[in-house]
Amino acid sequence: MATIEKNIDESEISKFETMASRWWDREGAFGALHDINETRVRYINTRAHLSGKQVLDIGCGGGILSEAMAKIGAQVTGIDAGKGPLEIARSHMIDKGLRIDYRQVTAEAFAVAHSQCYDIVTCMELLEHVPKPWSIINACKELVRPGGHVFFATLNRNPLSYLLAILAAENLFGLVPKGTHQYRRFIKPSEMIQWAQAVQLTLKDVSGLLYIPLLRRCILIGPACVNYMAHFSRRGGLQT
Protein backbone atom coordinates (compact mmCIF):
# COMPACT_ATOMS: atom_id res chain seq x y z
CA MET A 1 0.00 0.00 0.00
CA ALA A 2 1.27 3.48 -0.82
CA THR A 3 2.38 5.42 2.23
CA ILE A 4 0.46 8.61 2.91
CA GLU A 5 2.65 11.58 3.58
CA LYS A 6 1.77 13.37 6.79
CA ASN A 7 0.00 16.65 6.24
CA ILE A 8 -0.61 17.73 9.81
CA ASP A 9 0.81 20.64 11.75
CA GLU A 10 0.75 19.35 15.34
CA SER A 11 0.84 22.89 16.75
CA GLU A 12 -2.39 23.62 14.85
CA ILE A 13 -4.04 20.47 16.22
CA SER A 14 -3.12 21.31 19.81
CA LYS A 15 -4.38 24.88 19.33
CA PHE A 16 -7.84 23.54 18.48
CA GLU A 17 -7.64 20.91 21.26
CA THR A 18 -7.10 23.69 23.80
CA MET A 19 -10.07 25.70 22.57
CA ALA A 20 -12.41 22.75 21.93
CA SER A 21 -14.59 23.13 25.04
CA ARG A 22 -15.73 26.55 23.80
CA TRP A 23 -16.79 25.33 20.35
CA TRP A 24 -20.50 25.95 20.86
CA ASP A 25 -20.12 29.18 22.84
CA ARG A 26 -21.34 31.86 20.47
CA GLU A 27 -19.49 34.50 22.50
CA GLY A 28 -16.20 32.57 22.52
CA ALA A 29 -13.28 31.84 20.20
CA PHE A 30 -15.55 30.31 17.56
CA GLY A 31 -18.18 33.07 17.61
CA ALA A 32 -17.24 34.24 14.10
CA LEU A 33 -17.69 30.71 12.72
CA HIS A 34 -21.21 30.68 14.17
CA ASP A 35 -21.89 34.08 12.64
CA ILE A 36 -20.82 33.08 9.12
CA ASN A 37 -22.32 29.59 9.18
CA GLU A 38 -25.79 30.41 7.86
CA THR A 39 -24.26 32.10 4.80
CA ARG A 40 -21.91 29.16 4.20
CA VAL A 41 -24.74 26.62 4.39
CA ARG A 42 -27.00 28.68 2.12
CA TYR A 43 -24.18 28.89 -0.45
CA ILE A 44 -23.68 25.11 -0.40
CA ASN A 45 -27.39 24.28 -0.38
CA THR A 46 -28.22 26.64 -3.26
CA ARG A 47 -25.51 25.12 -5.42
CA ALA A 48 -25.69 21.43 -4.46
CA HIS A 49 -29.06 20.75 -2.71
CA LEU A 50 -28.06 19.09 0.54
CA SER A 51 -31.19 17.10 1.36
CA GLY A 52 -30.66 13.35 0.97
CA LYS A 53 -27.04 13.76 -0.15
CA GLN A 54 -24.00 11.87 1.21
CA VAL A 55 -21.80 14.66 2.54
CA LEU A 56 -18.26 14.54 3.92
CA ASP A 57 -17.20 17.50 6.08
CA ILE A 58 -13.40 17.59 6.30
CA GLY A 59 -11.88 19.37 9.31
CA CYS A 60 -15.34 19.41 10.88
CA GLY A 61 -14.10 20.54 14.32
CA GLY A 62 -16.92 20.75 16.87
CA GLY A 63 -19.54 20.29 14.15
CA ILE A 64 -20.94 23.78 13.45
CA LEU A 65 -21.19 23.15 9.70
CA SER A 66 -21.83 19.38 9.94
CA GLU A 67 -24.86 19.89 12.19
CA ALA A 68 -26.36 22.61 10.03
CA MET A 69 -26.10 20.39 6.95
CA ALA A 70 -27.57 17.39 8.80
CA LYS A 71 -30.53 19.54 9.90
CA ILE A 72 -31.31 20.18 6.21
CA GLY A 73 -31.44 16.43 5.60
CA ALA A 74 -27.92 15.54 4.44
CA GLN A 75 -26.30 12.27 5.59
CA VAL A 76 -23.15 13.76 7.09
CA THR A 77 -19.80 12.20 7.94
CA GLY A 78 -17.45 14.60 9.75
CA ILE A 79 -13.70 13.95 9.94
CA ASP A 80 -11.03 15.82 11.88
CA ALA A 81 -7.45 15.15 12.92
CA GLY A 82 -8.14 16.41 16.46
CA LYS A 83 -9.65 14.35 19.32
CA GLY A 84 -11.02 17.17 21.48
CA PRO A 85 -13.14 18.88 18.80
CA LEU A 86 -14.69 15.51 17.86
CA GLU A 87 -15.60 14.74 21.48
CA ILE A 88 -17.43 18.06 21.63
CA ALA A 89 -19.06 17.39 18.24
CA ARG A 90 -20.33 13.97 19.35
CA SER A 91 -21.81 15.15 22.63
CA HIS A 92 -23.45 18.19 21.02
CA MET A 93 -24.93 16.01 18.27
CA ILE A 94 -26.45 13.69 20.90
CA ASP A 95 -27.91 16.69 22.78
CA LYS A 96 -29.55 17.86 19.57
CA GLY A 97 -30.82 14.41 18.57
CA LEU A 98 -28.91 14.44 15.28
CA ARG A 99 -27.09 11.57 13.54
CA ILE A 100 -23.64 12.38 12.18
CA ASP A 101 -20.80 9.90 11.73
CA TYR A 102 -17.75 11.57 13.32
CA ARG A 103 -14.30 10.04 12.85
CA GLN A 104 -10.77 11.01 13.84
CA VAL A 105 -8.79 10.66 10.63
CA THR A 106 -7.08 12.84 8.02
CA ALA A 107 -8.60 13.46 4.60
CA GLU A 108 -5.70 11.72 2.87
CA ALA A 109 -6.01 8.54 4.96
CA PHE A 110 -9.81 8.49 4.69
CA ALA A 111 -9.64 8.83 0.91
CA VAL A 112 -7.80 5.51 0.58
CA ALA A 113 -10.90 3.46 1.51
CA HIS A 114 -13.65 5.93 0.51
CA SER A 115 -12.88 6.80 -3.06
CA GLN A 116 -15.85 8.43 -4.89
CA CYS A 117 -18.19 7.78 -1.93
CA TYR A 118 -19.63 11.30 -1.50
CA ASP A 119 -22.01 13.54 -3.43
CA ILE A 120 -20.65 16.63 -1.68
CA VAL A 121 -17.34 17.27 0.10
CA THR A 122 -16.96 20.39 2.24
CA CYS A 123 -13.68 21.69 3.61
CA MET A 124 -14.18 24.99 5.43
CA GLU A 125 -11.52 26.95 7.29
CA LEU A 126 -9.06 24.05 7.17
CA LEU A 127 -6.77 24.64 4.17
CA GLU A 128 -5.08 27.59 5.93
CA HIS A 129 -4.10 25.32 8.85
CA VAL A 130 -2.24 22.56 6.99
CA PRO A 131 1.31 22.43 5.55
CA LYS A 132 0.17 21.10 2.14
CA PRO A 133 -3.28 22.37 1.18
CA TRP A 134 -2.95 20.88 -2.31
CA SER A 135 -2.80 17.42 -0.73
CA ILE A 136 -6.22 17.99 0.93
CA ILE A 137 -7.61 19.28 -2.39
CA ASN A 138 -6.40 16.10 -4.06
CA ALA A 139 -8.05 13.98 -1.33
CA CYS A 140 -11.33 15.90 -1.86
CA LYS A 141 -11.22 15.01 -5.55
CA GLU A 142 -10.64 11.37 -4.65
CA LEU A 143 -13.53 11.30 -2.15
CA VAL A 144 -16.21 12.96 -4.29
CA ARG A 145 -18.04 10.98 -6.96
CA PRO A 146 -17.84 12.07 -10.60
CA GLY A 147 -20.33 14.91 -11.07
CA GLY A 148 -20.25 15.64 -7.31
CA HIS A 149 -19.46 18.95 -5.61
CA VAL A 150 -16.51 20.19 -3.57
CA PHE A 151 -16.67 23.36 -1.47
CA PHE A 152 -13.80 25.21 0.18
CA ALA A 153 -13.66 28.26 2.42
CA THR A 154 -10.42 29.94 3.38
CA LEU A 155 -8.60 33.30 3.53
CA ASN A 156 -6.97 35.19 0.67
CA ARG A 157 -3.33 36.31 1.05
CA ASN A 158 -2.94 40.05 0.45
CA PRO A 159 -2.32 43.21 2.51
CA LEU A 160 -6.04 43.65 3.23
CA SER A 161 -6.43 40.13 4.60
CA TYR A 162 -3.36 40.69 6.81
CA LEU A 163 -4.91 43.92 8.06
CA LEU A 164 -8.41 42.53 8.70
CA ALA A 165 -7.91 38.85 9.53
CA ILE A 166 -4.75 39.19 11.62
CA LEU A 167 -4.20 42.76 12.83
CA ALA A 168 -7.86 43.67 13.36
CA ALA A 169 -9.49 40.31 14.16
CA GLU A 170 -6.71 38.91 16.38
CA ASN A 171 -4.84 41.89 17.79
CA LEU A 172 -7.22 44.85 17.80
CA PHE A 173 -10.69 43.43 18.41
CA GLY A 174 -9.95 39.95 19.78
CA LEU A 175 -12.58 38.36 17.54
CA VAL A 176 -10.44 35.23 17.41
CA PRO A 177 -7.55 34.30 19.73
CA LYS A 178 -4.07 35.62 18.86
CA GLY A 179 -2.15 33.12 16.73
CA THR A 180 -5.28 31.55 15.20
CA HIS A 181 -3.97 32.30 11.73
CA GLN A 182 -0.55 32.48 10.09
CA TYR A 183 -0.44 34.90 7.18
CA ARG A 184 1.93 32.76 5.11
CA ARG A 185 -0.66 29.96 5.11
CA PHE A 186 -3.38 32.11 3.54
CA ILE A 187 -4.26 31.02 0.01
CA LYS A 188 -4.85 33.15 -3.06
CA PRO A 189 -7.91 32.05 -5.09
CA SER A 190 -5.61 31.67 -8.10
CA GLU A 191 -3.49 29.13 -6.17
CA MET A 192 -6.53 27.17 -5.06
CA ILE A 193 -7.94 27.12 -8.59
CA GLN A 194 -4.60 25.94 -10.00
CA TRP A 195 -4.31 23.08 -7.48
CA ALA A 196 -7.95 22.06 -8.04
CA GLN A 197 -7.73 22.15 -11.81
CA ALA A 198 -4.55 20.08 -11.68
CA VAL A 199 -6.63 17.23 -10.20
CA GLN A 200 -9.47 17.62 -12.68
CA LEU A 201 -11.85 19.64 -10.50
CA THR A 202 -13.83 22.17 -12.53
CA LEU A 203 -14.31 25.66 -11.11
CA LYS A 204 -17.96 26.69 -10.71
CA ASP A 205 -17.67 29.79 -8.58
CA VAL A 206 -15.55 31.86 -6.22
CA SER A 207 -17.34 34.35 -3.94
CA GLY A 208 -16.13 36.63 -1.19
CA LEU A 209 -17.60 36.50 2.32
CA LEU A 210 -17.87 39.88 3.94
CA TYR A 211 -18.06 39.52 7.71
CA ILE A 212 -19.34 42.51 9.65
CA PRO A 213 -18.36 41.90 13.30
CA LEU A 214 -20.37 44.83 14.68
CA LEU A 215 -23.59 43.36 13.26
CA ARG A 216 -22.37 39.78 13.66
CA ARG A 217 -23.55 39.20 10.12
CA CYS A 218 -21.99 37.98 6.93
CA ILE A 219 -22.88 38.53 3.29
CA LEU A 220 -21.70 37.06 0.01
CA ILE A 221 -19.91 39.53 -2.21
CA GLY A 222 -18.28 39.25 -5.63
CA PRO A 223 -14.60 39.93 -4.88
CA ALA A 224 -12.75 37.38 -2.78
CA CYS A 225 -10.79 40.04 -0.87
CA VAL A 226 -10.40 38.39 2.53
CA ASN A 227 -12.64 35.41 3.40
CA TYR A 228 -13.93 33.48 0.41
CA MET A 229 -15.74 30.34 -0.64
CA ALA A 230 -15.16 28.31 -3.76
CA HIS A 231 -17.27 25.69 -5.52
CA PHE A 232 -15.81 22.99 -7.79
CA SER A 233 -17.29 19.89 -9.38
CA ARG A 234 -15.58 16.65 -10.29
CA ARG A 235 -15.63 15.97 -14.01
CA GLY A 236 -17.85 13.23 -15.40
CA GLY A 237 -20.97 11.63 -13.92
CA LEU A 238 -24.39 13.15 -13.34
CA GLN A 239 -24.62 16.71 -12.05
CA THR A 240 -27.35 16.88 -9.39
Task: Check binding of 35 to ligand SAH (CB under 6 A).
Answer: no
* From 4-12, 177-185, 196-204, 211-219, span contacting ligand SAH (CB under 6 A): 4-12
Three-state DSSP string of the chain: CCCCCCCCCHHHHHHHHHHHHHCCCCCCCCHHHHHHHHHHHHHHHHHHCCCCCEEEEECCCCCHHHHHHHHCCCEEEEEECCHHHHHHHHHHHHHCCCCCEEEECCHHHHHHHCCCCEEEEEEECCHHHCCCHHHHHHHHHHHEEEEEEEEEEEECCCHHHHHHHHHHHHHHCCCCCCCCCCHHHCCCHHHHHHHHHHCCEEEEEEEEEEEECCCCEEEEECCCCCEEEEEEEECCCCCC
Q: List the x/- string, 78-97, binding to ligand SAH by CB under 6 A.
A: --xxx--x------------
Task: Check binding of 13 to ligand SAH (CB under 6 A).
Answer: yes
Binds ligand SAH by CB under 6 A, chosen from 29, 32, 33, 144: 33
Task: Check binding of 142 to ligand SAH (CB under 6 A).
Answer: no
Task: Check binding of 100 to ligand SAH (CB under 6 A).
Answer: no
Task: Check binding of 129 to ligand SAH (CB under 6 A).
Answer: yes
* From 8-16, 47-55, 111-119, 190-198, span contacting ligand SAH (CB under 6 A): 8-16
* From 45-53, 60-68, 199-207, 226-234, span contacting ligand SAH (CB under 6 A): 60-68
Which stretches of the chain bind ligand SAH, using CB under 6 A? 7-8, 12-13, 16, 33, 59-61, 64-65, 80-82, 85, 106-107, 124-126, 129-130
